[in-house]
Structure 1
Amino acid sequence: MAVVAYKCPNCGAPLEFSPESQKFECSFCGSSFSEEELQKYEPAQSSEQTIVQEPAEEEGKEETAVLYTCPSCGAQIVTTETTAATSCLYCHSPVVLEGRLQGEFHPDRVIPFAFTREEAERRFYEWVAKKRYVPKGYFDTGKTEYFMGVYYPYWVLDCDTSANYTANANRVRVWRDSRNEYTETSVYRIHRQGDLHFEDLTHCALDSEGRELADGVMPYRVLEAIPFKMPYLSGFRAEIRNLETDALEPVFQDDIHKYTENLLRDTVTGYDSVYNSSLDSDVKRKDYQYALFPVWAFVYTGADQKKYYYSMNGQTGKVAGILPLDRKKLLRDAVLAGLGIAAVLLMIGGLLI
């Protein structure tokens, strides 16, 4: 199984995909190449072999790892089974494990990173600054411990479905005369039927700790995905799927049911109440595509020496993660808010006396 590294045709230094220019750039001589230009050159290659680590005592099972040789410096690096692209720890050259992306594991689409690491850090600290109850001075710009661009695997579903929606509905009319109030309740039986088409229903195809990072930054603008080419992974880490469509089928079915019910329910208007609804739906066609989408993943050690894990959508900039809480400030604001409400109530009470 080949391990490839994309090198500059002019000087031989490693090439990395630049989110800023959307080209493949050499940091040594400053050359840049489009994807079409890069395809004219053969990447450097080496081989890899599978090894088995010792069983973990707490799990009692073997963990498979992969030992590969860096095409640039010859060093040996160990990766996990799901790693498809990474960097050499010794010479820092980006490498792509080509064999992991062949056959059924070849992605159909990819969304390239849309902005650089520096821009991702800027957006993160800007996001933190907007949070009212983060302890002052807790986050110090530029002190993230680990910051890496990772392509996570996703299944993307297009499907057609037919559905029948039924419900009861009431319409109430109230009127008065000089002596009485009258209420008239009209009861209706609602029926909706339709054929629906859904596109780009998306779920992470990785069953690991990284799944939380991948799920937390959704959604993506999937329409902007392009046909997959391996050079887009150069300079980033990439994971391959370990969940197939059958494992995610119940999750996709829940999505389809929920969206179908919401769409048909939205056509029921002009009633005071709708109740006892039911939906019968049948998926007629399903088309799955395998895609890699970008995430900036990073770790920050706070003033309390606790590690905080965050992820950012590499296309939209959406951030996911838990922020520390300034409990004193929260308590102070709660007390002030309570005093304000009490003052208003006393004022209203005084006006009523």
Structure 2
Amino acid sequence: MSTSTSSTAIRFPCAGCAGPMVFDSESQNLKCRYCGAERSIDNVMEQPQEHPFDNEGDNLEALHDWGTEQQLIHCETCGGETLIPAGQTTSQCVFCGSPKVLPQADSGSIRPESVIPFQISRDEALSSFSAWKKKRWFLPGAFKKQNVNSELNSIYIPYWTYDTDTYSVYTAEVGIYHYRTVTRTRVVNGKSETYTATERYTVWHPTRGDYDRSFDDLLIPASGHYDSGLLGKLGDFELSELRTYQPEYLSGYISERYSVSREQGWEEAREIADDTLKSEIKQVIGGDEIRNLNIRTSYDDITYKHLLLPVWNANYTYKSKSYYYMVNGQTGTVSGHVPRSAVKITLFTLLCIGIAGLVVLFILSQQDTSVQESLIR
């Protein structure tokens, strides 16, 4: 069943007033928007199912069943696509703030295996940003003191995680430092003299070996519509708190449809694994230097999961210019862009140049003193 199919769609009416119930980050329950009644959500902590990466059966209807009716929204300006509960309307894009959003047909998106529900409220997200910006350097004084009027959107960002077993074979040359005493000649006060010094040299040896390593939950953002730098700084999610996906967690929230495919996500995960293997194999080889390192790695038993992780996405305007920031909906970590004060940056640059100049003058004065003492002797 695709996200646009409604035959088994689930809604969450209040038992008291029949009003819509949405997920409440403070109580971690469903809460009625009208009468405030709450209903608990079964906290299912089953081990999420890992799907074989090469499984041709990923078009099965079961993997497309989100358990609640969704509609796909497409932004004409930035191309962003989000999934919102059917019947809900939106007037602007959660990515760029553009009002040009249109309903679209959806051929089906793989539903998430797990989710971390929102734990940071809107007010807490605003407070986190306020505290964060006060610690930034070079901000205009007026901006640092004022309360920023932000447009916040709570959105579940899609991620892929990958597990894999690896087996690597490697060859390299390892260099070991040795030291020897050598005799050299120098000229002092116009006279030639000999002296001894310690000289380092490197002895190279060939080496080879193999290395086994398993990777668990290589976390890759499946969103292609955010600043990757900002999103990367929000990566302190505590995945131990993942809960088995249930549609109640999405009630009242927007979820982004992944725009990074499983294959693209795996390429990113493989690059991370390759870098990790290179670093760890270097540690295994040891030595003082390594050159001509060649690693060949096979990846086996590759599996993946689709996760939804909570993020507050915000934009604001300062002096007619737009800025963006994000708040981790679980931990409250903030990353973002802020205006800069040209005056403060200029003053800091001049200060650094002045300090560097004083250091140079000090070094030159010490050299002049040494020359004068040498002439006296």
TM-score range, shorter chain: 0.7 to 0.9
Match of 2:154 in 1: 149
How do 1:42-81 and structure 2 match up within 5 A?
A: none
Match of 2:60 in 1: none
Candidates 290, 301, 306, aligned match of 1:274: 290
Cα distance in structure 1, aligned partners of 2:86 and 2:152: 13
Match of 1:248 in 2: 265
Candidates 335, 339, 342, aligned match of 1:324: 339
Structure 1 stretches of 5 or more lacking a match? 38-44, 64-79, 91-96
- Offset at residue 276 of structure 1 (A): 1.3
Q: Is the 8 A contact 2:159 2:307 kept in 1?
A: yes
User: Taking every aligned residue pair, what percent have the same amino acid on both sides?
Assistant: 24
Match of 2:165 in 1: 160
Candidates 127, 132, 136, aligned match of 2:132: 127
1:335 maps to a residue whose letter is: L
Root-mean-square deviation (CA), in Å? Answer: 3.6
Q: Determine whether 1:288 maps to 2:304.
A: yes
Q: Is the 8 A contact 2:74 2:82 kept in 1?
A: no
Q: Is the 8 A contact 2:73 2:81 kept in 1?
A: no
Per-residue deviation, residues 151-175 of structure 1 (Å, max 9, x unmatched): 0111111111111122211112213
Cα distance in structure 2, aligned partners of 1:87 and 1:130: 42
Change (3 A) 1:210 1:342: closer
How do 1:5-84 and structure 2 match up within 5 A?
A: 5-36=11-42, 82-84=82-84
Cα distance in structure 2, aligned partners of 1:234 and 1:48: 11
Cα distance in structure 2, aligned partners of 1:249 and 1:348: 53
Cα distance in structure 2, aligned partners of 1:49 and 1:169: 58
Candidates 195, 214, 219, aligned match of 1:197: 214
Per-residue deviation, residues 104-145 of structure 1 (Å, max 9, x unmatched): 62211101112111111111111111011111122532511x
- Offset at residue 47 of structure 1 (A): 7.8
Q: Is the 8 A contact 2:16 2:37 kept in 1?
A: yes
- More moved, 5-14 vs 212-221: 212-221
Change (3 A) 1:24 1:210: farther
2:178 maps to a residue whose letter is: R
TM-score by structure 1 length? 0.76
- Offset at residue 86 of structure 1 (A): 7.7
Q: Is the 8 A contact 1:312 1:320 kept in 2?
A: yes
2:339 maps to a residue whose letter is: P
Change (3 A) 1:225 1:47: closer
Cα distance in structure 2, aligned partners of 1:197 and 1:286: 10
Q: Is the 8 A contact 1:87 1:236 kept in 2?
A: no
Q: Is the 8 A contact 1:150 1:238 kept in 2?
A: yes
Candidates 338, 343, 346, aligned match of 2:358: 343
Cα distance in structure 2, aligned partners of 1:49 and 1:201: 29
Q: Is the 8 A contact 2:162 2:305 kept in 1?
A: yes
Change (3 A) 1:220 1:85: farther
1:336 maps to a residue whose letter is: L
1:127 maps to a residue whose letter is: W
The higher radius of gyration belongs to 2
Change (3 A) 1:82 1:342: closer
Q: Is the 8 A contact 1:85 1:238 kept in 2?
A: no
1:83 maps to a residue whose letter is: L
Per-residue deviation, residues 283-337 of structure 1 (Å, max 9, x unmatched): 01111111111110011011x2111122222123333332221121011012122
1:195 maps to a residue whose letter is: D
2:241 maps to a residue whose letter is: E
Per-residue deviation, residues 234-270 of structure 1 (Å, max 9, x unmatched): 121112224431233322221221111122222233x
- Offset at residue 51 of structure 1 (A): 11
Q: Is the 8 A contact 1:163 1:280 kept in 2?
A: yes
Match of 2:327 in 1: 312
Cα distance in structure 2, aligned partners of 1:183 and 1:294: 54
